[in-house]
C-alpha cells in the first residue's frame, strides 16, 4: 500500500479532522451551496496538510536510511549490501604483500659457478636482439633473431639465416633498450654463421670457452630474443655432444651441442652459457616436429671460432674451395629408373663463368661421375673427395654426356679449384659447389 494513496491517513490527520468537525456549525441563514463550499474548503486544507506531512516523513525516512547505511558500513565494513544478497560471503579484504627479500646471496658457489640470477646479472647485456627489415614488409621488422657481442667496439656474431633476408636494413637492440643500425661484415650460409657490426664503443662483450671441455648433463643457460621477447632466459642441461647438424638453410654439418633449454624462433644467434658465464655454443636450430619436444641445437664455439675469425678478416671463409658448378645429385636408383641413358653423378644445371672449370668441355646437362677416380653423386660425397685440396689445386673429373639418340659420350676434364667466398648454398636449381 503506497504512502501516497489518498485513502490512507496518519493517526494525527484523523484526530485533527475529528476535532475540526466537532467545533464546526453551519452559520445561521447559510445556504446549502455555501455549506457545501465550506466543507470542500475544509477537505482541501486537510488534504494539503496530509501531503506536507507525507513529504516530510519521506524525507526523514530517507535521511534515516542513509544514516543507517553509513552506520552499517562503519560496523560491518564495505560489501554489507552484497552480503545481504549472497549470504555473507563478501568482506572487506586487503591482500598482505610483504617486501621482497633483500638478502646477501652469493652470485657464485664454492666452485666459482654462477647462480642463475648471478649469471644473468653478469652476462645478459652481452646478448642483443636483431631486427630484420626487408622490401614489401612496410616499416615493421619482418623477423627477429639474436646476437652475441664479441668486442667492445660493436662486433656481433649471429646466424647467417638471421640476416640473409635483410634487404632494407638491420637493427640491433641492446639489453638496455639502445637501438643501433648494423652492417654485415661477413656471412657464410654454408655454416650458418655471420658477423655484423654496430657503431658503438665501450660495450660489455662475452667471454668464450673451449667447448671440448663441456660435460654431458652440465647446467647451461640460453639467452636470446625468441619471438621478439628480448632478454629471455631459459635453463637446461647439455643433452648431447658431438651432434653434427646442418641448419635448414645451410649445407655444412656443424658440430653442435644438443640442449633441452628452450630454443625457439628468434633464439637463433643467441648465446648458450655455461654456469661460469662463458659462451660454449651459439643457438642455431631445433628439431621442429609435433612428435618431439625439448631438442635444440647450438653450434659449438670450437666449430664457430675459425668461421668467425675468417669472416671478420676477409668477409668470407678463406681457404675454402669452389668447383664452380650448380648441380642435381643423381643416385644409382634414379639413374636406373630414368627413361633416357644417364649415369649416377652430378647433373650440371649451371656453370660459373668466373671459375676455371668453365674453360673445359663441360656444359649444362653433362654429368660428372667421378673426381680423381672417386664417385660423386651428392654434395656430401663431393666435399669428402675435395676436403684435402686447396684453392689453386688441379683435379681431373670424368664426365658423361647423355645423347638423345644412340649412346652417350664420355670424357675427362681437368681444372683448377677456386677459392669460395660465398659458401655452399642451395638454390632453386640445385646445389652450388
Q: Which of 125, 143, 146, 161 is catalytic?
A: 161
Q: Which of 192, 251, 366, 420 is catalytic?
A: 192
Q: Which of 211, 239, 268, 283 is catalytic?
A: 268
Residue 317 near residue 366, CB atoms below 8 Å: no
Q: How many CB atoms lie within 10 A of CB 394?
A: 10
Alpha carbon distance 235, 91 (integer Å): 42
* 268 belongs to the catalytic site: yes
Alpha carbon distance 186, 197 (integer Å): 10
Q: Environment class of residue 12 by beta-carbon count within 10 Å: exposed (0-12), middle (13-18) or buried (19+)?
A: exposed
Alpha carbon distance 169, 180 (integer Å): 11
> Residue 432's beta-bridge partner residues?
326
* 192 belongs to the catalytic site: yes
> Residue 398's beta-bridge partner residues?
370, 412
Q: Strand locations in 271-361, DSSP E?
A: 271-274, 278-286, 296-300, 321-322, 325-330, 345-351
Alpha carbon distance 332, 31 (integer Å): 138
Question: Which positions are catalytic?
Answer: 161, 192, 268
Amino acid at each position: 500500500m503506497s504512502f501516497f494513496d489518498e485513502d490512507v491517513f496518519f493517526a494525527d490527520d484523523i484526530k485533527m479532522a475529528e476535532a475540526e468537525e466537532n467545533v464546526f456549525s453551519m452559520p445561521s441563514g447559510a445556504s446549502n451551496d455555501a455549506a457545501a463550499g465550506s466543507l470542500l474548503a475544509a477537505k482541501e486544507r486537510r488534504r494539503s496538510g496530509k501531503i506536507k506531512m507525507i513529504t516530510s516523513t519521506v524525507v526523514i525516512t530517507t535521511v534515516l536510511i542513509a544514516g543507517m547505511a553509513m552506520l552499517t558500513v562503519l560496523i560491518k565494513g564495505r560489501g554489507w549490501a552484497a552480503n545481504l544478497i549472497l549470504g555473507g560471503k563478501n568482506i572487506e579484504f586487503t591482500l598482505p604483500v610483504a617486501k621482497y627479500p633483500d638478502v646477501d646471496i652469493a652470485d657464485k658457489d664454492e666452485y666459482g659457478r654462477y647462480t642463475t640470477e648471478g649469471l644473468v646479472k653478469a652476462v645478459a647485456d652481452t646478448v642483443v636482439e636483431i631486427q630484420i627489415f626487408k622490401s614489401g614488409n612496410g616499416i615493421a621488422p619482418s623477423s627477429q633473431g639474436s646476437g652475441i657481442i664479441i668486442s667492445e667496439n660493436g662486433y656481433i656474431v649471429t646466424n647467417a639465416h638471421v640476416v640473409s633476408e635483410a634487404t632494407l636494413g638491420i637493427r640491433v637492440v641492446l639489453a638496455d633498450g639502445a637501438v643501433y643500425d648494423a652492417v654485415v661484415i661477413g656471412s657464410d650460409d654454408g655454416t650458418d654463421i655471420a658477423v655484423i657490426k654496430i657503431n658503438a664503443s665501450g660495450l660489455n662483450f662475452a667471454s668464450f670457452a673451449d667447448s671440448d671441455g663441456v660435460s654431458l648433463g652440465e647446467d647451461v643457460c640460453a639467452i636470446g630474443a625468441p619471438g621478439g621477447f628480448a632478454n629471455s632466459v631459459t635453463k637446461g642441461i647439455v643433452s648431447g655432444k658431438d651432434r653434427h647438424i646442418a641448419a635448414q638453410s645451410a649445407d655444412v654439418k656443424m658440430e653442435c651441442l644438443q640442449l633441452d633449454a628452450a630454443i625457439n624462433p628468434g633464439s637463433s644467434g643467441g648465446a648458450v652459457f655455461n654456469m661460469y658465464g662463458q659462451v660454449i655454443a651459439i643457438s642455431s636450430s631445433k628439431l621442429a616436429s609435433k612428435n618431439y619436444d625439448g631438442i635444440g641445437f647450438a653450434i659449438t664455439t670450437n666449430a664457430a671460432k675459425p668461421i668467425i675469425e675468417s669472416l671478420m678478416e676477409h668477409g668470407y671463409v678463406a681457404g675454402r674451395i669452389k668447383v664452380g658448378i650448380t648441380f642435381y645429385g643423381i643416385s644409382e636408383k634414379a639413374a636406373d629408373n630414368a627413361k633416357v641413358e644417364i649415369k649416377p653423378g652430378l647433373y650440371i644445371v649451371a656453370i660459373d663463368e668466373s671459375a676455371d672449370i668453365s674453360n673445359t668441355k663441360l656444359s649444362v646437362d653433362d654429368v660428372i661421375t667421378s673426381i680423381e677416380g672417386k664417385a660423386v653423386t651428392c654434395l656430401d660425397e663431393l666435399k669428402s673427395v675435395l676436403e684435402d685440396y686447396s684453392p689453386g689445386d688441379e683435379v681431373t673429373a670424368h664426365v658423361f654426356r647423355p645423347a638423345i639418340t644412340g649412346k652417350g659420350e664420355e670424357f675427362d676434364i681437368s681444372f683448377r679449384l677456386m677459392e669460395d667466398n660465398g659458401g655452399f648454398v642451395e638454390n632453386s636449381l640445385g646445389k652450388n659447389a
